[in-house]
Structure 1
């Protein structure tokens, strides 16, 4: 081994580039949204297991704002040494590039996908005082008084924003969007009666739904959720082929050495199979991801094609 390392050094090959000594310090895991949402739940569960697998602390840093652009821009310029990684999701990777008139970076050129972490169902839920017990009644209520219903999301370009815009286009309703800097602040306002509805990731809502503080009307996934067996899917409720889920994965700056990307992907894939994460994800109805960087890249490209069509249909713009 010593001879191999010496040979690499003499050849001008850095040990970091080979991935052999990475990580040499704590790894910063940036989340582009405020605390309290599904993104943070996924990131913290994975960070805990990655810390054990890598032998270095992986710490989560929330950096909300600008539909994820602030965090993505910063990480795109970070040293490509594997010590700064970011949680990418459907909004930052598949929607912003097409919905933002002035998108400040090229997602496909300035980031390298590492691994898909999870897919999470979105749930359309309302405050208890909203007089709609089913999705059909919710649509009727919204059509009777256009723009009278307000819905909250984790921010412009968040998956909750996208899910509701997609549903409004399919159902023909109009509701007023109230963007927040994360799911946590949004939940405070919907519980306080300042907004009436949301179409957000299940993990962040389940506690409030179970406590009767929110009413689930439909789920956006293809199948019903195990924890909400009596709540129909949007497709079951009359909107054939409708599907919208949140998904999350790890990315790094584009020039990060392949050896580091592969090592991080292998560690994350192992972490996703650990009992700690499988139990946590099962509780939140999240489906663990996994696989290779190449598979995650293919997944992102497919999602980009899907959301490009939806954005062209809905006319969604994120300023």
Structure 2
């Protein structure tokens, strides 16, 4: 679609925000783009950085969002969300759960749930989903909050899903209730898209947008997303920039509410 080879370079750690940080030193020529996870909009509130997530990224388009959930080992005594909450209340600070990193959407969502329910949980951050799955399967933590890449382990009978975080139940886990069904008025799907360096010419942004948009409409893309319980979630460049501006303000309010704001 672009007539160019595309090299995908994975940059784990930092809650998935490393690619956005690398954009700050990349030339604005359209040859470097990055996935922009929701955690990017929290960075200035939790970490000292010298760039602005809204002003210093050229937003190309949003492509999808994650499906999240909470899992426990299949042989865990925490058979349901009711058991999870009951055990956490009876054992403050003892129920350990892992996430894909500090200040990621799974981490903050779990902390918001804990705050709403008066729970004290023990958060254990990992570098990514692979490390997180190794930890829970190895018995190092009691639960894991992550996107539904854990599905193969559930299908293999090694993990059990306690809840999912979308607006509706997931077809792959029909017995797992949503947070809303459990009395928590919350939906978390963490939209993400593609960004380019600040100053990338509008014509280049349009060409990138059109190519990614065309790719989003292919059956192979839709099928690939479906494997992870995800669906296309398109926003054009202008809409994605507005989303970035709105989300930047909302994330500040969330970080403040949880008492996690970085001290100056």
Tell me the TM-score normalized by structure 1. Answer: 0.78
**1:308 counterpart = 2:247:** no
Q: Provide the residue aligned with 1:12 in structure 2.
A: none
- What is the rounded CA distance, in whole Å, between the counterparts of 2:147 and 2:243 in structure 1? 19
Q: 1:91 aligns with which of 34, 39, 43?
A: 39
Cα drift, residue 130 of structure 1: 2.6
Local SS of the residue matching 2:54: helix
Which is bigger in relative contact order (C-alpha 8 A, separation at least 6)? 2
Match of 2:154 among 209, 212, 219: 209
What does the per-residue CA deviation read over 1:129-159, in whole Å, with 9 as the maximum and x for residues that have no partner?
Answer: 3311221211111111111121111112222
Query: Is residue 220 from structure 1 mapped to residue 168 from structure 2 by the alignment?
Result: no
Q: Does the C-alpha gap of structure 1 residues 67 and 279 become closer, same or farther in structure 2, counting only changes over 3 Å?
A: closer
Cα distance in structure 2, aligned partners of 1:91 and 1:308: 11
Question: Whole-Å Cα distance in 1 between the matches of residues 123 and 79 of structure 2?
Answer: 21
| Offset of residue 311 of structure 1 | 1.6
Verify: 1:253 aligned to 2:201, yes or no: no
Matching of residues 1-319 of structure 1 within 5 Å: 53-92=1-40, 94-100=41-47, 102-202=48-148, 204-239=149-184, 241-317=185-261
Query: Post-superposition shift, 1:263?
Result: 0.8
SS of 2:22 mapped into structure 1: helix
SS for the counterpart of 1:116 is strand
Structure 2 unaligned residues grouped into runs of 5+: none
**1:86 positional shift:** 0.7
Q: Give me the whole-angstrom Cα distance separating, in 2, the residues matched to 1:312 and 1:130.
A: 34
Superposed structure 1 runs of 4+ greater than 6 Å apart: none
CA distance in structure 2 between the aligned counterparts of 1:222 and 1:171, rounded to whole angstroms: 20
Report the CA distance between 1:318 and its aligned residue: 6.9
What's the secondary structure of 2:190's corresponding residue? Answer: strand
Structure 1 residues 235 and 126, CA, compared in 2 at 3 Å: closer, same or farther? same
- Listed as ranges, the gaps of 5+ residues in structure 1 are 1-52
Q: Quote the RMSD (CA, aligned, Å).
A: 1.8
Q: 1:318 to 1:201 in 2, by over 3 A?
A: farther
Deviating more after overlay: 102-111 vs 253-262: 102-111
Shift of 1:64: 2.4
Separation in 1, partners of 2:178, 2:191 = 18
TM-score, normalised by the number of residues in structure 2: 0.93
